[in-house]
Structure 1
């Protein structure tokens, strides 16, 4: 009888220890999540049209406020990342923030010290961080989606993207194993149904990435397409992809526009299903950024960098495609 009691005591002790270890691990994992994420949004060259609306200010770069609001709606704050800086500027700033968003827009990739040069610094630094075990996510939208693949291709004289015109709202055509992707594996089934069956993704692009763009530059082993769409000429383009090893993700369409862009002539999808379904993408990205624990020295330093130091300007009333914009650094170079 004493032996039975001893064995029972021993088993209970072992189980108690294992449970304690499990609880401890869960607690540690929870504590490591960053509940105050700050995401950098890359600015880009000022458009020729908007530059003409502010000739005296002579702004160099801008960020559409819809990207800032999209990040904020998912529970993060924004730091603007300026173009035209040296690599040290991007290295130091990225040590303080938890991820970077490459927004869409209408600039070229061959302008010196512009959007593409800044993105290349950020992309390479993020690779270095991740290779060293420092989890650092990147997310690209539309123009940013294309640029990430061009950067991965080596950014040669011929840009690795294809002509592809799509100016409409589309459903997603999911890859057969999309549920095994990081971006989509936890998305509720009702949102997947909306994305797959309703015209809720806002497309507004004249270039795209095709599977041949990945194959021709031997990128297929590193980059995983997870959904597709058909453009106005029935060309099948990649709509979403993710890197197989790094936490790098991108979408060809514009999730931010359903909630925050209101130009009547653009006919963006504003249904309640479109708003809810498009939350999937930035909610996912911000959740990835919570895994990064970078931070500023203190609240005072943090406050100096945040987007709140700049006024949001109502540009929709000026005829801009963007409802609101933030403007930065007069320097004199604009994008035609």
Structure 2
């Protein structure tokens, strides 16, 4: 045990030490036996001065208790997209689907795990998987019809049902995901407009008098928000979208979403780039927050420190929303049996795919007895 009492007569002790030190030096010089000055001093101090600890070193900090209203082990469902993500160079089967690994890493870097929602699985399996997760991501891509469209529409309806029933169940729709929501909510499959925004880094312009609190931008530092309006910190890669005028003219869309940001394409044509649902934890981005950190296939993707922070803040916001899904805590064994870790990613960047890595899925018996 350390002696925590302060020594008495400290000044007197120090004076005595120095006196002995001078006497010792004089004796050594008289005998012509020299000892290095600093070695003697350190030895004397170590002999006479006892170690002391300040009070803060003697007590352990008390850790703040976790919030029982939050789920600190959130799981995110990511819906797979038709194809192999590499124009058939990895797998050209007609029934293959993929999830770019960048979306998985995007969720993981904010503290979540991922379960793939394979769109070709039977509806009952998809519905049961939805009960294993605390939020959903709709990814980018190209498919706007057929089975994929119907599955995305069905999952979106389930998201609304869960929230209407009192479960906080967030959805993040990215690029194609935003476009699909626009079509589904408006009930108009022809509502989208063409834009020239493929492989384009851009700025975003915030809607005048927008309130950031409670939105995806709520925790962004003010300096970063300002930079987003002047620096190309977000990555666009789309041919379709919707203009602010067309969104506002549609009663269903303007009643569901509020516009947060707009951007302009290569022809200086404005489109909606970020929206937030007014009554649901649903965010839709026309841009790709996952690419800044994890994709390298296009030289236009911004990789600056500011761009990385944009991605991190979006991920942190979405997963913080998923943590509010505290009532949904399924059996651990079922979660483990269905996590993305049961699959191995394929390296697509080497074959000039659109992504660095992809997870490929082909119809097969489910991994667990859901």
TM-score w.r.t. length of structure 1: 0.83
Who is 1:334 aligned against?
none
1:61 partnered with 2:92: no
Q: Counterpart of 2:143?
A: 108
User: What secondary structure does 1:224 align onto?
Assistant: strand
**Corresponding residue for residue 201 of structure 1:** 234
1:233 pairs with 2:264: no
Once structures 1 and 2 are overlaid, which stretch shifts more, 160-169 or 186-195?
186-195
Structure 1: where are the runs of 5+ without partners?
1-25, 332-336
Deviates most, 143-152 or 84-93: 84-93
Name the SS for the 1:194 alignment partner.
Answer: helix
Write the distance in 1 (CA, Å) between the matches of 2:327 and 2:362. 26
Please tell me the root mean square deviation across aligned C-alpha atoms, in Å: 2.1
Q: For residues 246 and 48 of structure 1, what CA distance do their matches in structure 2 show?
A: 31
Question: Which runs of at least 4 in structure 1 moved beyond 4 Å after TM superposition?
Answer: none
Aligned counterpart, 1:162: 193
For residue 254 of structure 2, give the secondary structure of its aligned residue in structure 1. coil
For the Cα contact (< 8 Å) 2:212–2:218, is it kept in 1?
yes
Task: Describe the SS at the equivalent of 2:292.
Answer: helix
Cα distance in 1 for partners of 2:207, 2:85 equals: 39
Paired residues of 1:178 and 1:185 also in contact (CA < 8 A): no
Preserved contact between residue 258 and residue 270 of structure 1 (Cα < 8 Å): yes
Alignment match of 1:91 (pick from 127, 132, 140): 127
Aligned in 2, Cα 1:322/1:132: closer, same or farther, shift over 3 Å?
same
Counterpart secondary structure, 2:229? helix
Partners of 1:49 and 1:73 in 2: CA distance: 25
Q: Quickly say closer, same or farther: Cα 1:215–1:277, change in 2 above 3 A.
A: closer
Q: Distance in 2 between matches of 1:33 and 1:298?
A: 17
Q: Cα offset for 1:153? A: 1.2
Query: In structure 2, how many angstroms separate the alpha carbons of the residues matched to 1:40 and 1:294?
Result: 16
The whole-number CA distance in structure 1 between the counterparts of 2:77 and 2:173 is 12
Is 1:212 aligned with 2:212?
A: no
Shift of 1:296: 5.3
Equivalent position of 1:242 in the other structure: 276
TM-superposed CA distance for 1:58, in Å, is 6.4
Deviations 1:165-209 (A, max 9, x none): 113111110112333452223322122122222111001110112
2:334 is paired with a residue of what secondary structure? helix
Partner of 1:12: none
Q: Quote the Cα distance in structure 2 between the aligned partners of 1:80 and 1:213.
A: 34
TM-score (norm 2): 0.76
Q: Secondary structure at the match of 2:153?
A: helix
Q: How many corresponding residue pairs?
A: 298
1:280 and 2:313 are equivalent in the alignment: yes
- Provide closer, same or farther for how the CA distance between residues 269 and 317 of structure 1 changes in structure 2, counting only shifts above 3 A: same
Structure 2: how far apart are the matches of 1:320 and 1:134?
Answer: 38
| 2:115 aligned with 1:79 | yes
